[in-house]
Amino acid sequence: MSELAKVYGIWHREFLRFIREKSRIASALAMPLLWLLVFGSGLRFASAAVGGNYQAFLYPGILGMTLLFTSVFSGISVIWDREFGFLKEILVAPVARWAIVAGKALGGSTAALIQALILLPLAPLLGVALPLERLPVLLIFMVLIALGLTSLGLLIASMMGSMEGFNLIMGFAIQPMFFLSGALFPLSSGPEWLKYISYINPFTYGVDVLRWCVFTDFQTLLPVGVEMAIVAAFAVAMVLAGSYTFGRKK
């Protein structure tokens, strides 16, 4: 399968760029730490709704947030490839369009996953005891969530065309996805209208599965198997839509 070598090539390039951008890694870590250590400890004892430790409740939400922002950003970075001309090098090469999308999606997911993995050792400090038996599921779902969201970023980038719409997309699509996902507060404590919006947000189920992986007694919104299926279906749909949109020629 020669296409796999090409997927590897594109993935490897993304990886090299990621590990060389120390400032990006640092700034991407600062956000979750601020949420967890400052925001989280400030509200630690102020929230009765979560039944105790708010910092612990917040932890899987922040794992999800890290995946969300890093993945979408990595996907959208294909616009830079286009503006700096590098994309042309890949588009004129004898590479199947799906292989380009796969390479980019896997590269972005790897970056997101590394960012999230750095947060795992923090769990005990926040009073979270990660259940070992659910660790494999946690890892698999972090990969799935990252894949789906990186592909979403690629899809947005293919439709956007230039960097001008970037802030618009971040402000009106990605930030709302984060705030309406239950990452910061239990959805059961919010008003009805908020719940309905959250239910159509696929990221809600990603965060819910992550929280289920972290707390053995956590009650998911839907049966956990259904939520996992939704997350997986979202990832597959985004990879397909990304490949299709990306492959179109002008």
Pairwise CA distance, residues 202 & 194, whole Å: 14
- C-beta of 209: minimal distance to another protein in Å? 34
Give the binding range for another protein (CB under 8 A) out of 87-95, 111-119, 129-137, 170-178.
87-95
Count the neighbouring beta carbons within 10 Å of the beta carbon of residue 250: 2
Pairwise CA distance, residues 229 & 236, whole Å: 10
- C-beta of 29: minimal distance to another protein in Å? 20
Tell whether residue 250 is a contact of another protein (CB under 8 A): yes
* Sign of the alpha-carbon dihedral angle for 209, 239, 114, 36: negative
- Single out the residue of 40, 73, 89, 159 in contact with another protein (rule: CB under 8 A): 89
- Single out the residue of 46, 51, 94, 121 in contact with another protein (rule: CB under 8 A): 94
Residues 2-61 that bind another protein (CB under 8 A): 2, 5-6, 8-10, 12-13, 16-17, 20-21
Residues 220-249 that bind another protein (CB under 8 A): 249
- C-beta of 146: minimal distance to another protein in Å? 22
Considering only CA atoms, which of 193, 200, 218, 194 is closest in space to residue 208?
A: 218
- Single out the residue of 38, 42, 49, 88 in contact with another protein (rule: CB under 8 A): 88
Is the Cβ of residue 16 or residue 159 nearer to another protein in the bound state? 16
Residue 2 burial by Cβ neighbours in a 10 Å radius (0-12, 13-18, 19+): exposed
# residues near another protein by CB under 8 A: 27
Q: Please name the residue that has the structure tokens 């979408």.
A: 72
- Single out the residue of 26, 46, 85, 121 in contact with another protein (rule: CB under 8 A): 85
Is the Cβ of residue 86 or residue 172 nearer to another protein in the bound state? 86
Q: Coil, strand or helix: which one is 1?
A: coil
Q: Coil, strand or helix: which one is 153?
A: helix
Considering only CA atoms, which of 230, 175, 174, 171 is closest in space to residue 206?
A: 230
Tell whether residue 186 is a contact of another protein (CB under 8 A): no
Contacts 24+ apart (CB under 8 A), 83-92: 83/162, 83/163, 90/10
- C-beta of 152: minimal distance to another protein in Å? 24
Which amino acid type is present at position 24? Answer: R
Tell whether residue 165 is a contact of another protein (CB under 8 A): no
The residues that touch another protein, with contacts defined as CB under 8 A, are: 2, 5-6, 8-10, 12-13, 16-17, 20-21, 84-96, 249-250
